[in-house]
Amino acid sequence: MTEIMPKTRGFTLVELSIVLVIIGLLVAGILVAQSMTDTARAQRITLELQQYQIMVDNFGTKYNALPSDDAMFALPVIMTVWSGMD
């Protein structure tokens, strides 16, 4: 007299836990990659701003004025530089 257990359909607890672990690892990997991308972008922007600061400082040292797109402010600096070339 053996009792036959009816076959049930579904997943076992072990299978479900393995799937959850795999999904968790994938999500963690995506979050780490996103964090690294954001950090790299922030470092690139910081470096670029430092380079702009160096360029403006070098311009100011050379021409004794800050860069400007206004001809009224740029003209005296250009005239001073040209007059010094005589």
Cα–Cα distance measured from residue 45 to residue 57, given in angstroms and rounded to the nearest whole number: 18
Q: What integer is the mean pLDDT of 61-80?
A: 68
Residue 86: which pLDDT band, with cuts at 50, 70 and 90? very low
Tens of pLDDT along 1-40?
Answer: 567 766 778 889 999 999 999 999 999 999 999 999 999 9
Close Cβ partners of 74 (under 8 Å, ≥ 6 residues apart): 65, 68
pTM for the model? 0.56
Within its chain, how far is the Cα of 6 from the centroid? 57
Cα–Cα distance measured from residue 37 to residue 31, given in angstroms and rounded to the nearest whole number: 10
